[in-house]
Structure 1
Amino acid sequence: MPAEYLLSVDLGTSHTVAVLVWPDGRTRPLLFDGSPVMPSAVFLDPGGIIHTGRDAERLALTAPERFEPNPKQRIADGTMLLGDRDVPVAAALAAILGRVARTAVESVGHLPNTVLTCPAAWSEQRRATLHDAAAKAGYRPVKILTEPVAAAHYYTSRLSHPMRPGQALAVFDFGGGTLDIAVLERRPDGSFGVLADGGLPDLGGLDFDAALVAHIGETVKQRDPDIWKRLENPSGASEMRNRRELWEEVRAAKEMLSRSSVAPVTVPDMAQSLHLTRGELDQLSRPLLSRAVGETQRVLGLTGRRPDQLAGLFLVGGSSRMPMVSKMLHEALGFAPTVLEQPELPVSEGAALAFASPAPVTPPVQVPPTPPQSPTAPHAMSSPPLRSGSLPPVTPGTDETVTLRRGEPEPPRRKIPPKWIAIAAAVVVLAIVLPIGWWWLTNPYKQQPFDDELAPVGDVTAFAAEPNDGIYQVRAWDDRALFAYTTASTDPSGEELHLRALDTGSGEPLWDQDVVVTGGGWDGNFYVSEDLIAFSQEVATGEYRYHFLDWKTGDTRNTVDSTDGTAARSGDLLVLAPLGGNTFNVYDGDGEKVAGWKLGNVDEGVTVSKWDLVGTPDDLEEPSMRANGNGRVWAVTSDNVVHVYDLESGETVAEKEIETVDDLYYGWDNLLYVAVDKETGYDLNVYDIDDELKAFDSEFVESDTPAPDQVKACGEALVCVREPVESATDVYTWRIYNPDKEKVVHVFDDREYRNITPLGNRLMVEHYEGDDVRTWIYDQGFDQVNNDVGDNDFEAIDGGSALTWPASSGFSVSTGNVIGLGRDGTRTALRTELEVFTCDASETRLSCLTLEGMQVFSFRDA
């Protein structure tokens, strides 16, 4: 392990990322304004101070002539004009590195030895400028490693892809401003040498943003030419701020489209939001990406090697997360690239791994702290020691303290005839056994055993044609599974959606349905239940067509055209509702409208701001069936009024003004929870839906963490409130509230916690140990059930067990293990190295889209 801290900095064209390596080998990215990714932007104020990152972006709205978003691109110029001053590029880079240095010092108390990264094609003169910038920022002499070599170290070390000497890896570094491509060869000593490099200095994420803004502009221009004129040619700070806001909205929509098929875009001064679809993004991206693919093929050709002779193609840089990037490279080279969920991070962390000493073969075992155990009862955990002035220990599940008395005289005993003892014993046995037996038979949280391995059910059902990257979806339901994927259509302006239903008992196909769509894109949302298959397409901007299919035949039962872009399923009902509108419509599995109502008044500006279903404990008993609510929906309109409706009748259950639309709402077990941010914490207010939203309880939580950002169910009555931990990514404090006791009954804050998920009436709690995420199980008394169930993300499949399987990033293939987990913490390894696009699980079956086609696997008897 390294003897001291090490800092690695990837100063990119658009963003800067820095990683710290702890003395024990852990790595953790530095956070800037709560994010591991800091804009590489600079702003020179009138006093001569250079501001960096998001501060620079905010100040740019006041004086854009003093702003440079990409100073790294100006390195060959030597100086750049900011306002009325010529500023050396080295000074601008030094300001960015200085910001990194200050953050590192705040984290570990000093500035560690540092490694910086740079493009492979940089000359010695440019590297000297980087050395000069580091010296100006107060760094000791730094080491410089090229970005593709750093990425290669991440690929082989962190991703565990071993490469033999002589094997080659292609690194595709697609950032905000440039594209850099390099092919590296593994040397006998384990280092990497660059065989060939190239790239496109004029192609990056900003070019895609510009294409999307121009595309949005055509719609805005048709609806309101004056608005577009002000956005295209702003004058004054306000209009410049609106233009920047539009670009930020488009950039956020582009990133959202890497995860979903449609994304909203709010255009300043326009009353109604617009939408971008993945189909539109793909259409605009293809000509730009054709250049990237051509350059990749050119650089690879310089090495004399064919694509099938590569050990892999590793995609890094923020723009690599667009699904179309991996899709087109896959089509051109014949194999799937590797791309991560956060492709900005591998270069910085890879450089750190390259210079950190290798860890010992057998690392020391870190045993998590557990309460001491009694030597006479090895499986019973003793009570924690009492602090001065504390109460005696509380028996789990009660409010009573246990008091033990010794030395008191026993009352005189009376002899009881043996026959009465026998009768009484029989009565006691029946009184105990019958309820226990009945409870066991009806207990929704039973732990069912897993098989020894994951077994294929039937043969693979082949794809109808080569899938593209539009949609990969699987929905498992009891004894059936629905598969959905898209392929290119014979109509060049559209694509074909293929739907296949399989019997999960036999693996045999039940039916298939193919639909060609033009003019719009398929939505990635599918709503499936016992008697419902529904999905949607966007036929035009802001206009949707919902398709309702028959589970038995696959035939289309009905189609419904709607302007409602948000939907949710409750049982066999589909709710279509607006954000920014005021009409709710409810449809059954036949696509027939069963209820509908209007809230507020659009003409008066009173519209729906947020809405969701009211959850129920039934959701915990059969999570794989996704019960989704008790047939009620809540909505908050822009006039701060909460409305609760019954879905089947459309009748009002409750209606009342209680908080504001800016607060955090959650409905569970006929209670409505609202978290209201305060200066020194927040109020958790609880309202009774069945009692006309009467105030049920109010708890003030004193907290120095940021305001809660999520409330969700953690048990039949329990709810979890999540508070982000300041200056940390994906780390939270969790507070558990019990309405039966009208108080917060437990707080998870003694570790770096990530996620909490209910497993029936127990909790799966994830926390960090170094870079690993470990999962512990807790019972209803918040006692730890087991020591550790590993570093996997488990999903509950029934009330007593959970499952983990490979999850792909984007539309690339993912390889991983399938592991079963019982509520007692026992793990069952079912399969290693399973390659899939995506999967979904029921209580007994795992249904997957694999490279060969659609396959059902069994992990326990149906």
Structure 2
Amino acid sequence: MPADYLLSVDLGTSHTVAVLVWPDGRTRPLLFDGSPVMPSAVFLDPGGTIHTGRDAERLALTAPERFEPNPKQRIADGTILLGDREVPVAAALAAILGRVARTAIESVGHLPNTVLTCPAAWSEQRRGTLHDAAAKAGYRPVKILTEPVAAAHYYTSRLSHPMRPGQALAVFDFGGGTLDIAVLERRQDGSFGVLADGGLPDLGGLDFDAVLVEHIGATVKQRDPEIWKRLENPTGASEMRNRRELWEEVRAAKEMLSRSSVAPVTVPDMAQSLHLTRGELDQLSRPLLSRAVGETQRVLGLTGRRPEQLAGLFLVGGSSRMPMVSKVLHEGLGIAPTVLEQPELPVSEGAALALAGPAPVTPPAQMPSPPVQSPTAPHSAPHSSPPMRSGSLPPVTPGTDETVMLRRGEPEKPKRRIRPKWIAIAAAVVVLAIVLPIGWFWLTNPYKQKPFDEELAPVGAATAYSGELNDGLYQVRVWDDKTLFAYTTSSTDASGEELHLRAVATATGEPLWESDAVFTGTGWDGNFYVSEDLVAFSQEVDTASETPYRFYFLDWETGDTRNTVDSADRTAARSGDHLVLGPLGGNTFTVYDGDGETVSSWELGNVEEGVTVSNWDLVGTPDDLKEPSLRANGNGRVWAVTSDNVAHVHDLESGEKVASKEVETVDDMYFGWDNLLYVAVDKETGYDLNVYDIDDGLSRVDEETVESDTPAPDQVKACGEKLICVREPVEGAIDVYTWRIYNPDKEEIVHVFDEGEYRYITPLGNRMMVEFYEGDDVRTRIYDKGFDEVGNDVGESDFEAIDGGSALNWPAASGFSTSTGNVIGLGRDGARTSLHIDLEVYACDASETRLSCLTVEGMQVYSFRDA
């Protein structure tokens, strides 16, 4: 059996591509159903068989609840619910890889050594899942190469673009559901290292399809409203099929416009076809692509290099095929991108080139048909493991291990646990022909609602306290698989309070470490900051000192103190594994990592001249809504307003200025979200809501004038991915507000909550939990993004979102003694689940699956759904 064949597999979010390399260096993509691109979709039939690719899409017509179009996006979930079964993500990926393996065996008679690709930002845990999936599919140990490094090898080898050591290449990977950007540097040994990476998890080709469908819909609605009504809200099998056909027509027209200036669109039930022009596509695409340009500029800025200093800008991924993509990038960056006719192939083939060595490669069009050998094992069983071949992996090109020098300032976390809004819509359109309305809703909902258990269940035994609690401080912080408990007792030597800390494994309730009676003194507060590699908190140690506050940085694994930092101010915010210490009345910002070591520092204003920082915070990101139990991470930027009425935005990792501009006054209300800065400016009769684009030097992009008799806004916050809530107090009322909802994409206030007594609004994924008064009682009602009521009113309030599709209510911490109340689960559909009656606690915090509490009996973890 030949020892030098090689298989390269790019298992993408939407599609999978595989390339075979022959012993003489020739390459050939594997064909699945006659195409080199296979949908990365899975379907679990009642017999337990997992079907893949277009077979999965066809079978989804019969049972959409058994279908998952993008299992790769669910890699951080661990399992996928397919019908009534929880299927490990590794098993779903193994089914796709098994399909690839069988096709490879049919081509060359055995399963060659294999290299797989993955995103640059994937952690070792996610790569481990990919290794497990390959093993389940019958592969020998595989090599994993990141997608941008694979693309870089294709750029230099296949396209013959030489790069000197030290030169940098930007890889723009634009797929069906996501955009990934990386800047790589050529090393002395010829390998590539990732200097910086980023991207937009909610921008891909499906978003362009959605915009085009909406555009066509406006014409259809004008000519025949009844036809569009049926296409927009189908109710039967025939109407579902028509909707799918419309999306397929629009997608085909979009692809045709990559080659011509006009493309027809046949609308079901309409006698005359419509058409789309290249100009219409370009006009509709530009707002979406402007985001891509801004993100490319941001990632490039992390490296400290200008666009003209790049060796090239390489476009890969199917959505890169649209001519407008390269045009807008060229306009925005000033450099001409490189894009291929089949941009889906470079990642897979580039990974093969990286491992196959410098053998000459013949283009597929010139390649003779490869020899087909008899299979070494039968392939009739749909999920039999492919036979393994002997031998080890080929030697790796020197230096192909990538070192990430600059990251996005975020902790490793699942970026796509919840799919962006158009992913599920388009996936449903591709596969849905006969399905009930509830099935359509299930497929098009990007924020999956996970079921709650019937009751709250203790996980392990309660951990006893050390000493007698003194009602000084009770705090619980959950970070994914770990819980930090903090409480105080009176000091045994009358020196003040003793702060006790204990870490517990959230999944099992088992103690990890304890630091009892170590931190002695007074001035403890509830400001605890935790993430994957950060445990920090503050204490007031000396009121007479110029630095009266001390921040402690602990080791998550041992509880040992890594470092302490004395500060003039206690104000701080966490962004990923970084802690930002910012001044109020001062002018110095300092960013620390989990070890308490300085990452960056910068000054604003001049204290001697009386110019100090009056307000500051992190710039939030829509990703924060997808994993609310991990709390806000921000996008790695800090906004601040100095007393001379100047707004500043800085990159927290580098400390470099992103933008600054004189705006309104320091007394106005500021909020940073999704690279926009919002300022509510008080006037005599109402206020102005001004919107500034951070990536465009804080240029003003919109101004909304609100005529109102209510007092000036006291809060601006995000209440959805693309919704900003402005809160106005109601004069003469306590805890009653008018809420105005602004949509930056539409550049207008799209809704007002003022007909009633409204309390708080909290985002729940792409929906909102709105609290209102009914007599003296506070109730909660869920609204969808169109501001329609969902489900019935819920008889509780103060729910906290724990993921994109559900929320939890537990007894509120009093700060002085125990509080008793019920634990209630709430789904995005308004369904209420009673989990526990009369739970007595000092304080609690929740993850997506666990509730950790300081109870009278001790420190206790509870489960409300499977981990």
TM-score, normalised with respect to structure 1: 0.50
Quick one: distance in 2 between partners of 1:832 and 1:730?
27
Match 1:458 to one of 457, 460, 474: 460
Tell me which residue corresponds to 1:511. Answer: 513
Match 1:766 to one of 768, 771, 776: 771
CA 1:636–1:515: 2 relative to 1, 3 Å: farther
Tell me which residue corresponds to 1:743. Answer: 748
Please tell me whether residue 696 in structure 1 is matched to residue 698 in structure 2: no
% identical aligned pairs: 75
Measured after TM superposition, the shift of residue 552 of structure 1 is 1.0
Please tell me whether residue 573 in structure 1 is matched to residue 578 in structure 2: yes
Please tell me whether residue 755 in structure 1 is matched to residue 760 in structure 2: yes
Measured after TM superposition, the shift of residue 811 of structure 1 is 1.5
Please tell me whether residue 631 in structure 1 is matched to residue 636 in structure 2: yes
Quick one: distance in 1 between partners of 2:836 and 2:627?
24
**Structure 1 contact 670–689 (Cα < 8 Å) conserved:** yes
Match 1:857 to one of 831, 843, 862: 862
Please tell me whether residue 722 in structure 1 is matched to residue 727 in structure 2: yes
Structure 2: gaps (5+ residues):
1-213, 228-241, 250-424, 433-438
Quick one: distance in 2 between partners of 1:578 and 1:397?
52
SS in 1 for 2:503: strand
Measured after TM superposition, the shift of residue 519 of structure 1 is 5.2
Match 2:548 to one of 538, 543, 550: 543
SS in 2 for 1:619: helix
- Note the 1:753-832 alignment, pairs <5 A: 753-832=758-837
CA 1:693–1:548: 2 relative to 1, 3 Å: same
**Structure 2 contact 843–853 (Cα < 8 Å) conserved:** yes
- Note the 1:376-455 alignment, pairs <5 A: 402=221, 432=428, 445-455=447-457
SS in 1 for 2:620: coil
Deviations 1:79-120 (A, max 9, x none): xxxxxxxxxxxxxxxxxxxxxxxxxxxxxxxxxxxxxxxxxx
- Note the 1:183-582 alignment, pairs <5 A: 402=221, 432=428, 445-517=447-519, 520-541=522-543, 543-582=548-587
Please tell me whether residue 671 in structure 1 is matched to residue 676 in structure 2: yes
SS in 1 for 2:790: coil
**Structure 1 contact 764–776 (Cα < 8 Å) conserved:** yes
CA 1:438–1:748: 2 relative to 1, 3 Å: closer
Quick one: distance in 1 between partners of 2:605 and 2:473?
36
Structure 1: gaps (5+ residues):
1-394, 409-420
**2:534 aligned partner, one-letter code:** L
Measured after TM superposition, the shift of residue 514 of structure 1 is 2.5
Quick one: distance in 1 between partners of 2:215 and 2:525?
47
**2:538 aligned partner, one-letter code:** S
TM-score, normalised with respect to structure 2: 0.50
SS in 1 for 2:720: coil
Quick one: distance in 2 between partners of 1:424 and 1:440?
20
Quick one: distance in 1 between partners of 2:652 and 2:710?
37
Quick one: distance in 2 between partners of 1:611 and 1:495?
32
Quick one: distance in 1 between partners of 2:495 and 2:219?
70
**1:622 aligned partner, one-letter code:** E
Measured after TM superposition, the shift of residue 861 of structure 1 is 0.4
Quick one: distance in 2 between partners of 1:406 and 1:448?
37
CA 1:727–1:770: 2 relative to 1, 3 Å: same
Higher Rg: 1
**Structure 2 contact 498–521 (Cα < 8 Å) conserved:** no
**Structure 2 contact 773–779 (Cα < 8 Å) conserved:** yes
Quick one: distance in 2 between partners of 1:704 and 1:573?
42
CA 1:518–1:812: 2 relative to 1, 3 Å: closer
SS in 2 for 1:483: strand
**Structure 1 contact 494–516 (Cα < 8 Å) conserved:** no
**1:502 aligned partner, one-letter code:** V
CA 1:498–1:424: 2 relative to 1, 3 Å: closer
Quick one: distance in 1 between partners of 2:805 and 2:461?
30
SS in 2 for 1:714: strand
CA 1:688–1:439: 2 relative to 1, 3 Å: farther
Tell me which residue corresponds to 1:617. Answer: 622
Tell me which residue corresponds to 1:307. Answer: none
**Structure 2 contact 625–763 (Cα < 8 Å) conserved:** yes
**2:684 aligned partner, one-letter code:** E
Quick one: distance in 1 between partners of 2:755 and 2:216?
22
Quick one: distance in 1 between partners of 2:744 and 2:218?
14
**2:615 aligned partner, one-letter code:** K
**2:843 aligned partner, one-letter code:** T
The total of aligned residue pairs comes to 456
- Note the 1:128-139 alignment, pairs <5 A: none
Quick one: distance in 1 between partners of 2:517 and 2:734?
42
SS in 1 for 2:608: helix
**Structure 1 contact 397–781 (Cα < 8 Å) conserved:** no
**Structure 2 contact 476–483 (Cα < 8 Å) conserved:** yes
Measured after TM superposition, the shift of residue 792 of structure 1 is 2.6
Measured after TM superposition, the shift of residue 496 of structure 1 is 1.1
**Structure 1 contact 495–516 (Cα < 8 Å) conserved:** no
Quick one: distance in 1 between partners of 2:835 and 2:215?
34
**1:816 aligned partner, one-letter code:** G
CA 1:431–1:741: 2 relative to 1, 3 Å: closer
Quick one: distance in 1 between partners of 2:749 and 2:225?
35
Measured after TM superposition, the shift of residue 402 of structure 1 is 4.5
Measured after TM superposition, the shift of residue 505 of structure 1 is 1.3
Quick one: distance in 1 between partners of 2:626 and 2:814?
29
CA 1:474–1:407: 2 relative to 1, 3 Å: closer
CA 1:438–1:549: 2 relative to 1, 3 Å: farther
Match 1:846 to one of 838, 848, 851: 851
**1:811 aligned partner, one-letter code:** F
Please tell me whether residue 732 in structure 1 is matched to residue 737 in structure 2: yes
Please tell me whether residue 591 in structure 1 is matched to residue 596 in structure 2: yes
SS in 2 for 1:584: strand
CA 1:493–1:741: 2 relative to 1, 3 Å: same
**2:740 aligned partner, one-letter code:** R
**1:476 aligned partner, one-letter code:** V
**2:472 aligned partner, one-letter code:** G
**1:535 aligned partner, one-letter code:** F
Deviations 1:367-417 (A, max 9, x none): xxxxxxxxxxxxxxxxxxxxxxxxxxxx99998895685999xxxxxxxxx
Measured after TM superposition, the shift of residue 495 of structure 1 is 1.7
**Structure 1 contact 444–621 (Cα < 8 Å) conserved:** no
CA 1:694–1:426: 2 relative to 1, 3 Å: closer
Measured after TM superposition, the shift of residue 679 of structure 1 is 1.4
Quick one: distance in 2 between partners of 1:691 and 1:570?
23
Deviations 1:111-130 (A, max 9, x none): xxxxxxxxxxxxxxxxxxxx
Measured after TM superposition, the shift of residue 455 of structure 1 is 0.3
**Structure 2 contact 531–576 (Cα < 8 Å) conserved:** yes
Measured after TM superposition, the shift of residue 744 of structure 1 is 0.1
**Structure 1 contact 396–781 (Cα < 8 Å) conserved:** no
Q: Note the aligned Cα RMSD (angstroms).
A: 3.0
**2:567 aligned partner, one-letter code:** S
Quick one: distance in 1 between partners of 2:215 and 2:832?
26
SS in 1 for 2:541: strand
Measured after TM superposition, the shift of residue 810 of structure 1 is 2.8
**Structure 1 contact 538–544 (Cα < 8 Å) conserved:** yes
Deviations 1:207-264 (A, max 9, x none): xxxxxxxxxxxxxxxxxxxxxxxxxxxxxxxxxxxxxxxxxxxxxxxxxxxxxxxxxx
**Structure 2 contact 428–440 (Cα < 8 Å) conserved:** no
Measured after TM superposition, the shift of residue 431 of structure 1 is 6.8
Deviations 1:680-705 (A, max 9, x none): 11100000000000001001011111
Quick one: distance in 1 between partners of 2:599 and 2:245?
58
